Amino acid sequence: MKVKKVIAFIICLFLPLLIGGISARLTAADIPIYNALLNKPFFNPPGYLFGPVWTLLYILMGISLYLVWNSPQSALRKKALIIFTLQLAANFLWSILFFSFHLLFISSIEILIMWALILSMIITFYKIKKVAGWINIPYLLWVSFASLLNISFWWLNR
């Protein structure tokens, strides 16, 4: 039984890291070129900050996913897993819209949808296992900042 839990934990931890890694890989070549062309808001953080922050957030997502996955099956658990999948898909899509397709307005809308999905995930995870909700607060805060940043990029470069 413990081996199954360890395997489930590894999968839950690996999944967000994998999705984030694929998204980063798909946009890696576009980031420095496109970033150099954009007018940036004064509060734009240095580029080296994004990798470590996102890695930590993906790890927290994976831990929270495991906590929910490991809870008893229920309609709420199923809903939580669907919301998790939707927010992770939105997370994957955002950087492609922004960096690869240069769709600043569309990515601004998409990141606000992602923000709402993250909030919904936190609330739903909290109902299942409180810590699973709480550990995603940094993710919501970071995406709140990223939303402001994205909207500012759009405003400054329209």
* C-alpha to C-alpha distance for 33 and 106, rounded to whole angstroms: 20
Length of the chain: 158
Q: What is the mean pLDDT of residues 122-143?
A: 98
- Chain-centroid distance of CA 99 in Å reads 16
CATH architecture of 2-38+50-156: Up-down Bundle (1.20)
Report which of 90, 117, 89, 121 is spatially closest to residue 106, judged by C-alpha positions: 90
Q: Is the pLDDT of residue 35 over 80?
A: yes
pLDDT band per the 50, 70, 90 thresholds, residue 48:
very high
Assess whether pLDDT exceeds 70 at residue 32. Answer: yes
Q: Give the CA count within 13 Å in the CB-facing half-sphere of 141.
A: 7
Query: Would you list the domain boundaries of the chain?
Result: 2-38+50-156
Mean pLDDT to the nearest integer, 111-124: 98
DSSP structural state of residue 45:
P
